[in-house]
Amino acid sequence: MARGKGASRESETGTLGKVMALLELVTHSDGPMRFTDILALSSQPRGTLHRQLVHLVEEGLLEFDADGRYVPGLRLLDLASRSWARNEFRLITEPYLKDLQQMSGETVHLGVLRGTSIIYLDKIEGRQSVRMYSQIGNASPVYCTGVGKAALSVLPDDAVEPLARNLSFNRFTPHTLGSADALLQELKTIRETGVALDREEHELGIRCVAAAVWTVDGSFTGGVSITGPAYRLTLERLEEWTTPIKQAAQSIMDAIRIRLGPRG
Amino acid sequence: MARGKGASRESETGTLGKVMALLELVTHSDGPMRFTDILALSSQPRGTLHRQLVHLVEEGLLEFDADGRYVPGLRLLDLASRSWARNEFRLITEPYLKDLQQMSGETVHLGVLRGTSIIYLDKIEGRQSVRMYSQIGNASPVYCTGVGKAALSVLPDDAVEPLARNLSFNRFTPHTLGSADALLQELKTIRETGVALDREEHELGIRCVAAAVWTVDGSFTGGVSITGPAYRLTLERLEEWTTPIKQAAQSIMDAIRIRLGPRG
DNA sequence: CCCGCTGTTCCATTATTTGGAACACAATTT
DNA sequence: AAATTGTGTTCCAAATAATGGAACAGCGGG
């Protein structure tokens, strides 16, 4: 009942919430974790922690490797592949992504806003696309990705402000936006031009142009982007692509409206 | 304590088990489900079911779309992408898969046995690899895939028998093996030749050669395969590839042994 | 042989889940 | 328009599962 405006991380979902926090802990770590590693990070008594881990392993969400360390389980893959294969927005968007890819020759992404992250829902690469999963599903910060900034630019003001204020700005490169004010300022420009640029803000040598894609009912807030190495994606190039990417975003939104009715 | 030999689906993992069963139900359905749809399939009282769904939604494992239907949540993507990116066996195997792909020009898979399914851990396609996720993470039956049969062929006898007896054989094509006996018979041949063939047993027009990859401690049982359209993968072609694929499997097992110590 | 580190088990206490029933609300039928 | 059926949501005492402290086991090193 007491769901605040989003200040403190409250409302643990009973047992499930605790177990998921644990799963997230192990999944987001850099490598396999031993019991003690987890114990140190989880602020739970040993007995409890142990039982929760056993449950997660029994469910296949974690695995207990031969060296006695916990690693993410493969059941997650199965669940996720179905989640992805059936995603409505991804299915609708797919052909437009392909068009953008062909037009530009560069890598094209579809991302969606979840909390303070962008989750990449799809990715289409130029030639030999080898490592796809490495990007799809990845959660990246909103404030240093083209799709992230584009998505924020179409949120209502009363939603953007608090979200921006709550971010912790990690300086990935010298160009990364470093404060809520800087971000809000940039969003103004994005609203005027209709496209968001990532000028090596997340990774040095990588630039991108993005346009927002959203539904009025808020069920989807995200964007599409064209990404590539800075030496190919000169500022002139990016400029050239602003029109096609805005058109693509518009076409996608039209398609969503047709497929999903008046919600869009 | 009472973990039977695998006869009846026992040992619900307390609350987590029930909730995961629910998540699986929704995730494995053909499309979005309404509350009532789920209620009909879940044999739980409305109140309970409702709260569980709310919890799953709060955790991002399910989403409640604008039409009031439940769909798999995107948090699964994030969890899975990390599970995949870090998977030890996949990382070790990757270069060998690439070699096989280059040698054959066809699609190459890495799969691992989980229960009575093969989960595809990796896939490398020839040219434009567009739909990757659609295969990675997918769980396919053991008895009608090359990787599945190869994996079974290296299990100890006392493990194969009960597993085979418990399968329900779904006839995907006229060539699908239809009984435990047929499967066990085929496994004999596979043990002799060292490779497993899929002669359009899962999908008409698709053939594959596979070789098993496993560790003696049982922490990995799976295989690699080369898959493609029947008109290109003639029986002579498959024959040609038996040696390279067996060599690749052996190299992978050597690499595992080196990386993981004497476990392999 | 003893010590310290790691992981596992036990069980009374405590908190959460359960599930029946009542409550809303909308769409359909009479 | 009123009644009915179908859907989804809320409530709360009873049943059940999770908790967590402490004791137990195993092992490698000093």
**Burial class of residue B21 (count of CB atoms within 10 Å of its CB; 0-12, 13-18, 19+):** middle
**Cβ <8 Å between B128 and A129:** yes
Residues whose beta carbon sits under 7 Å from strand D: A 15, 18, 44-48, 51-52, 55; B 14-16, 34-36, 39, 46-47, 50-51, 68
Q: Which residue is nearest to nucleotide D16 (CA to C1')?
A: B14
Domain boundaries, chain A: 14-76, 87-263
Give the H or E element holding residue A15. Answer: helix A14-28
Residue A110 pairs with which residues in a beta bridge? A122, A224
Any idea which residue has 């080898």 for tokens? A130
CB A167 within 8 A of CB A142: yes
pLDDT at A192 over 70: yes
CB A259 within 8 A of CB A252: no
Please provide residue A64's backbone torsions phi and psi, each rounded to the nearest 5 degrees: -110, 105
Candidates A103, A64, A78; CA nearest to B28 is A78
What's the pLDDT at B136? Answer: 83
Separation between the CA of B160 and the C1’ of C10 (whole angstroms) = 36
| CB contact B234 to A (< 8 Å) | no
Q: Which tokens in the block code for residue B131?
A: 């739909």
| CB contact B17 to A (< 8 Å) | yes
- pLDDT tier at A66 (50, 70, 90 boundaries)? confident
Residue B49 identity: L
> Is A67 in a helix, a strand, or coil?
coil
End-to-end CA distance of chain A: 29
Structural class in CATH, domain A14-76 = mainly alpha
Residue A210 pairs with which residues in a beta bridge? A196, A225
Separation between the CA of A2 and the C1’ of C13 (whole angstroms) = 28
Residue B118 pairs with which residues in a beta bridge? B113, B140
Distance from the A4 Cα atom to the nearest Cα atom in chain B, whole angstroms: 14
Separation between the CA of B49 and the C1’ of D14 (whole angstroms) = 18
pLDDT in tens, A104-113: 999 999 999 9
CATH of domain B14-78: 1.10.10.10
Structural class in CATH, domain B87-263 = alpha beta
Helix axes B146-153, B157-166, angle to 10 degrees: 140
pLDDT in tens, A208-238: 999 999 998 888 999 999 999 999 999 999 9
Q: Which residues of A touch B74 (CB under 8 A)?
A: 83, 87, 112, 114, 119, 121
Q: Which is it for strands B70-72 and B107-114: parallel, antiparallel or unpaired?
A: unpaired
- Strand order from edge to edge, sheet including B117-124: B139-141, B117-124, B107-114, B221-229, B206-214, B196-199
Candidates B221, B228, B217; CA nearest to B262 is B217
Residue with the larger pLDDT of the pair A77 and B9: A77
**Burial class of residue B223 (count of CB atoms within 10 Å of its CB; 0-12, 13-18, 19+):** buried
Please state, in angstroms and rounded to a whole number, the distance separating the CA atoms of residues A87 and B134: 12
| CB contact B102 to A (< 8 Å) | no
**In tens digits, what is the pLDDT along chain B, a chain of 264 residues?**
333 333 233 456 788 998 999 999 999 998 899 999 999 888 888 999 999 999 999 999 999 988 889 999 999 999 998 888 888 899 999 999 999 999 999 999 999 999 899 999 998 876 644 444 457 888 999 999 999 999 999 999 899 999 999 999 999 999 999 999 999 999 999 999 999 999 999 999 999 999 999 998 888 999 999 999 999 999 999 999 999 999 999 999 999 988 876 555
Candidates A35, A37, A80, A36; CA nearest to A53 is A35
| CB contact A57 to B (< 8 Å) | no
| Torsion sign (Cα): A234, A240, A246, A247 | negative
* Number of inter-chain CB pairs under 8 A, A vs B: 178
Please state, in angstroms and rounded to a whole number, the distance separating the CA atoms of residues B251 and A97: 39
Separation between the CA of A152 and the C1’ of D9 (whole angstroms) = 33
Please state, in angstroms and rounded to a whole number, the distance separating the CA atoms of residues B264 and B260: 7
Any idea which residue has 């690899």 for tokens? B129
pLDDT in tens, B144-179: 999 999 999 999 989 999 999 999 999 999 999 999
Distance from the B196 Cα atom to the nearest Cα atom in chain A, whole angstroms: 24
Please provide residue A97's backbone torsions phi and psi, each rounded to the nearest 5 degrees: -65, -40
Please state, in angstroms and rounded to a whole number, the distance separating the CA atoms of residues B89 and B259: 10
Mutate to test the interface with B, among A30, A53, A74, A123 (most CBs of B within 10 A): A74
- pLDDT tier at A258 (50, 70, 90 boundaries)? confident
**Cβ <8 Å between A81 and B138:** yes
